[in-house]
Structure 1
Amino acid sequence: MWKITTSLAAGLVAAALAVPAAADTVEFMNWTYTEDSGKDLMQGIMDDYAGKSGDTVEPLGYAWSDINKNAFLRSRTNTLPDVMQVQARFLPTIANIQQIVDLNEVFGKDALEEMFTPGFLAMGQVDGKQVALPWIAGTIGMVANQKVLDAAGVDGIPGTVDEFRAALEQVRENVPNSVPYGMATKNNASILLDYLIWAWTFGADVIDADGKPDVNSAEGVAALEFMVGLMNDRLAAPEIDRPDARRLFGQEATAFYFDAPSAKNFAADFSGQGMDYAVNIIPMETPTMEADGTPAAIQWGHVLVMFNDDNASSDSAASKFLMNTMSDDVLVDYALIKGALPPTFTALESEQVASDAYMAAWAEAAVAPRPNPIAPLANGGAISDIIGEEVQAALLGQKTAQEAADAMQERLEAELD
């Protein structure tokens, strides 16, 4: 059980429910509002706060792939929103926006430490400042579709890389028109995640402890050769991005892929069966080289940031909206509907979380998630592009795995110098 003290944290949430002297408008920039599966959820969160406070919440919706770019454009024109949803791995980039608010100064460091678990609270920290609060959390890990495995005659969830490849071959042979593994083969940001997990699985560091690239080591080349072999043997396919894998998975044309816990929601939507389909979605440990290996996974989550000095007070409408989203009656339902863990102590102890079999299975599979080593770097976008371009060149047969790894190493050394 999580050990908590609640006096300061309860005060923060209670303040969010106080009706301000005069109505205000909170601009909330997020990508979930633009998604079919998320719009009603976001509207409900905004309406909940509006009903309690008398304020208005105005959604500013941008597609996930465009939201960071638009944040920087808005910073140049002094039109930043009050509150913004950010993918946790991109927070070091967004933290470069000058108008971002240190939330320790708004709510108090002690109060936030009472409210959030340490690991989740750390998701919002950059250079010693609490520039974001965790909203939903989990990992990037592997999921399996039990119905596809049953159709292919696969008995059990594969635990090793060899067992994984054998399962993929069974899917290829027994499920017509399938893409057995929905490996990301386009979009550099998506390719990076699959590559990182397989590189770690094979024992490569990608970026070592000294900040040096290590992609053309024997382990790094072996990981890339494994990925190329999957493509060559029709166990993966070209032109697959994460959204494509989600669709194929829900339509029972893919057996495995990497995603966040929200994989459940995408499968429910694409299956056409809603949450009745969730019983077929199996969170699993990433296959390992040996049966007793440590499965690789990437830390994942969404965080919320605030901008502009006029919001840097716990009495501002933006601060109260932010705290209201973290209250148990709002946060727990939202996190579980999104297939994720809520990051506050009290929400994690709620009956709803304790009784959610899917999230319990996900937490059990997330043995030792590692932070994305690329995201915190100032030139992380360029590094992601280098890795994605060279991995794709190998997957498409334009270079051998060794040639691609050598070119990646050389380009990364120059970029990281």
Structure 2
Amino acid sequence: MKHFKLAGAALLALAIATPALSADVEFMSWTYTEDGGKEQIEKMVSDYEADSGKDVEIIGYAWKDMNKNTFLRARTNTLPDVSQVQARFLPTLANIKGIVDLDTVFDRAELEKMFAPGFLAFGEVDGKQVALPWIGGTIGMVANRKVLEAAGVDGIPGTVEEFHAALEKIRDAVPNSVPYAMATKNPDSIVLDYLIWVWTHGGDVVVDGKPAVNSPEAVAALEFMVGLMKDRLAAPEIDRPDARRLFGQEASGFYFDAPSAKGFIGQFSGQGEAYAPNIAPMATPVLAEGDTPQSIQWGHVLVLYGDDNAKPDTAAADFVRHLLSDKELVEYAYAKGALPSTVSGQAAETIASDTYLSEWAAGAPAPKRNIIASLSNGSEVSGIIGEEVQAALLGQKSAQEAADAMQSRLEQAID
């Protein structure tokens, strides 16, 4: 018997605090709440139930509510057996009581053989393997070929100067457009755009463990973002879902996202997979030719909770093995527009021959880790950055004033 449960808000956490007695595995996922994702998760669960004879209860929360509800469940001792986690948020969850050290569950040598180089590190925090990688890639930029064509933009811009010129053409040629759907609302989204532009301008947010957001390079990056708002090349109140909708409806030419962008954009376009040829993964524009395009490491990981699951022969461990099997993983990763985490999954013909994924990898030659997410108080730090960047974008502070305020606040927050 299948057990599917959907809870989209924190207020429902207590209502579902008592697990279904008949469920052998509880699996918490945000993909289950997304258009198209529900069917994918249900298929993987149904396959497992048919093969194993065990029951799985799916607990769904929206992506933005996952961390909040994880902590709520930790306080009420109702953590699931298995949970999907955004890799960059893993350090904030790694100290939750009950998270399982997976070296007690899986053979280390087998893990190192199973996963593609670099992917296994997605699940490591302070040298401890607290998660296994599921799907991965980078946060990079995408361009809409149809929008560029409509605006008379010739080719994909390679420099910041060319990028700015392309945005102006879109603004002037495409009515009611947001040329660059820059994240301007959700702090967790804002920090990604901000990080990439700071790196592009030669700065960094943290240097040698200390904040550096009021360096000349970081201020120049923020001034660049503010200039886009002033010139109506970006807009307020934009989060990643808004960017995907605008892009899919051909009201935006560029934005930052993970490889899974393809699936979301296809849905918003109303054409599904048929819209994929219009989505162009591209290198983030650089200040000068020869500079390294900037991008952020990205991935989804799987964690286990509960002392009862800290051994290899549990249903939870078996379910994780199922999710990572080629039979399930290749189809799921491809549908999400992402890379499977395993060596065998990446070698599958479906993945190896995919032009979109090849172009995505080419556009992100040297992705960097989101150091903010690696901080124990990463959520607080992201909030500070988001608030001060927003203040600058909305004209409430100058870029320098916002950067100085951000520096002062981060010096207190980052130890």
Which deviations, in whole Å up to 9, do the C-alpha atoms of 1:218-267 show, x marking residues without a partner? 11111000000000000000111111000000000000000000110111
1:342-388, CA deviations, whole angstroms, 9 ceiling, x for partnerless residues?
01111111111111110111111111000001011111111111111
Cα separation, 1, equivalents of 2:413 and 2:73 = 28
Q: Indicate the residue corresponding to 2:117 in structure 1.
A: 118
| Cα shift readout 1:185-211 (whole Å, capped 9, x = no counterpart) | 111111100000000000111111x11
Distance 2:71 2:404 in 1: 34
Q: Which residue matches 1:214?
A: 212
What amino acid sits opposite 1:284 in the alignment?
Answer: M
Partner of 2:52: 53
**SS of corresponding position for 2:256:** strand
Alignment partner of 1:338 out of 312, 336, 339: 336
Cross-structure match for 2:379: 381
1:130 aligns with 2:125: no
Task: Give the RMSD, CA atoms, in angstroms.
Answer: 0.9
Distance 1:52 1:415 in 2: 49
Distance 2:339 2:171 in 1: 34
Which 4+ runs in 1 deviate beyond 2 A? none
Q: Which residue of 2 is the match for residue 11 of structure 1?
A: none
Where in structure 2 are the equivalents of 1:77-92 lying within 5 Å?
Answer: 77-92=76-91
Q: Which amino acid aligns with 2:161?
A: D
Answer yes or no: is the 8 Å Cα contact 1:221–1:401 preserved in 2.
Answer: yes
* 1:354 and 2:370 correspond: no
Residues 1:195 and 2:194 aligned together: yes
How big is the shift at 1:36? 1.6
Give the 3-state SS of the residue equivalent to 1:183 in structure 2: coil
In the alignment, the residues of structure 1 paired with residue 179 and residue 214 of structure 2 have an alpha-carbon distance, to the nearest angstrom, of 27
Partner of 2:267: 269
Matched position secondary structure for 1:45:
helix
Deviation at 1:24, TM superposition (A): 5.9
CA contact (8 A) 1:89 1:372 kept: yes
What one-letter code is carried by the residue in structure 2 that aligns with 1:158?
P
Contact 1:296 1:368 in 2 (8 A): yes
Aligned partner of 2:319 among 321, 324, 327: 321
Amino acid at match of 1:137: G
Aligned-partner SS, 1:65: helix
The runs of 5 or more residues in structure 2 that have no matched partner are 1-21
**What do the CA deviations read for 1:72-129 (whole angstroms, capped 9, x no partner)?**
1111211110000000000011111110111111011111111012300000011211
Q: Report how far residue 67 of structure 1 moved.
A: 1.1
TM-score under structure 2 length normalisation = 0.94
1:17-36 equivalences under 5 Å are 25-36=24-35
Q: Which amino acid aligns with 1:174?
A: A
Distance 2:25 2:409 in 1: 44
Aligned counterpart, 1:394? 392
Please give the per-residue CA displacement for 1:296-328, whole angstroms capped at 9, x wherever unaligned. 000000000001111122211110000011111
- Mapped contact 1:134–1:304 kept (Cα < 8 A): yes
Give the residue type in structure 1 aligned to 2:160: V
SS at match of 2:49: helix
Query: What is the alpha-carbon distance in structure 1 between the residues aligned to residue 414 and residue 305 of structure 2?
Result: 30
Q: State how many pairs are aligned.
A: 394
1:37 and 1:394 map into 2 onto residues whose CA distance is 37
The unaligned stretches of length 5 or more in structure 1 are 1-22
Counterpart amino acid of residue 133 in structure 2: P
Matched residue SS, 1:123: helix
Aligned partners of 1:104 and 1:112 also within 8 Å? no
- Aligned letter for 2:172? E
Are 1:101 and 1:306, in contact at CA under 8 Å, matched by a contact in 2? yes
Counterpart in 2 of 1:301? Answer: 299
Aligned to 1:289: 287
Other structure's SS at 2:63 match: coil
- Checking the alignment, whether the CA contact within 8 Å between 2:104 and 2:312 is kept in structure 1 is no
Aligned-pair identity (%): 68
What is the distance in 1 between the residues matched to 2:270 and 2:136?
26
Alignment check: 8 A CA contact 2:87 2:300 kept:
yes
For 1:373, the aligned partner's letter is: I
